[in-house]
Structure 1
């Protein structure tokens, strides 16, 4: 069996944008942590009032979604067997490459610090020739190619209904990257929709990112006779 490839798309993991870097909530949090404002992670639970000024604010500032999803994925039996690849493509156009041996901190504050280091330095550990995490500015079609996939299969509530098993089998048989939304509200951008080669829905309502990832991974584990 080939590897299951999953990408968390338009993920709300980004550094504080310059246009709100002088907002009191941003400045206060940065000062408390001893960092420049633009070297801190945008988080709606901290920066809600500042985020009222920015575009697509309902989709942004949710690094917790990526945190929970990566914990689920990287600790899975499928990943431990070397049969999973997971990527993140952020709202602001950065691709995050994750080595399967990476241990994501369970503590959210430590995870935040890790993501800040990654987005500022570009690698974790910084300067390593073989980093555990690497971030690059990259368009989604380029990430699909970099992942060694032959196309993108997007999971979206509005698309044709398919079973999780059928989606996973199609992805595995055709070396497709499965794209799952990494935001709490709204829809994919037109750019993301245009990058998709296939689009399916696995449930009649929207599901949280980590729930979708869990179902995909557990189905692949069953197909591989791991569980």
Structure 2
């Protein structure tokens, strides 16, 4: 079983510090919600982000959306070989059941995340998504992997096909991918650092490469 964590994701409701900013207030009014009930999004709240610490990297729920669409629709997930989690900058963890089918439409995805942060479980009758207050270290301890890999631009260089072969040599590997647009993890994460390319890659590209080559080794091994 491959465990995949999108870590330190820039997914959060609008913080109180900028709840009265005109860009936030007007956006929330259009959505017919309170300012602190909408998801922070740099596309809509760019001017307000200038007033937040780390504002240049916050408000990127689109990264989580694309990563989750790719992961949940993968062959590995359909075959029951993958578990995906989202860890946020505010130390919250979203648990996602494998059968979850997220909205393809981005605005509908934002609405789903807003409901999740408000109600902690969605849909209430199925509980496909569950939000818990939890650190990344606590999540790793709970998963209890036999190996942790941290995808990092300064990690050991290895080709994606070779990394797929490495992953299948473990029963319960964990791969951590940063859910932020640029920069480094804000905290030290214990694990072997791995890099696929000489230049930084977007999170969803890394997610795709990891899953495709893992499932390739698990389900479609080479015939010698």
TM-score, normalised on structure 2? 0.93
> Contact 1:144 / 1:151 at 8 angstroms: preserved in 2?
no
Q: CA deviation at 1:151?
A: 4.6
Q: CA deviation at 1:170?
A: 3.6
Map Cα deviations across residues 87-135 of structure 1 (whole Å, 9 max, x no partner).
Answer: 1111111111100000010000100000011111111123x4x510011
**Structure 1 residues 16-27: aligned runs within 5 Å:** 16-27=14-25
> Contact 2:167 / 2:214 at 8 angstroms: preserved in 1?
no
Distance in 1 of aligned mates of 2:74 and 2:107: 22
Distance in 2 of aligned mates of 1:169 and 1:57: 38
Q: CA deviation at 1:58?
A: 2.1
Q: Equivalent residue for 2:175?
A: 178
Q: CA deviation at 1:152?
A: 2.8
Distance in 1 of aligned mates of 2:23 and 2:210: 38
Distance in 2 of aligned mates of 1:26 and 1:94: 23
> Contact 1:58 / 1:185 at 8 angstroms: preserved in 2?
no
Greater alpha carbon shift after TM alignment, 69-78 vs 170-179 = 170-179
Q: What is the RMSD of the two structures over their aligned residues, measured on CA atoms?
A: 1.6
Q: Equivalent residue for 1:219?
A: 213
SS at match of 1:184: coil
TM-score, normalised on structure 1? 0.91
SS at match of 1:59: coil
1:131 has 2:127 as partner: yes
Q: Equivalent residue for 1:152?
A: 148
SS at match of 1:158: strand
> Contact 2:3 / 2:175 at 8 angstroms: preserved in 1?
yes
Distance in 2 of aligned mates of 1:58 and 1:188: 14
Moved over 3 A (4+): 165-174
Distance in 2 of aligned mates of 1:148 and 1:133: 21
Distance in 1 of aligned mates of 2:91 and 2:153: 23
> Contact 2:168 / 2:218 at 8 angstroms: preserved in 1?
no
Q: How many residues align?
A: 220
**Pick aligned residue for 1:15 from 13, 17, 22:** 13
Q: 1:139–1:159: structure 2 CA closer, same or farther, 3 Å change rule?
A: same
> Contact 1:6 / 1:180 at 8 angstroms: preserved in 2?
yes
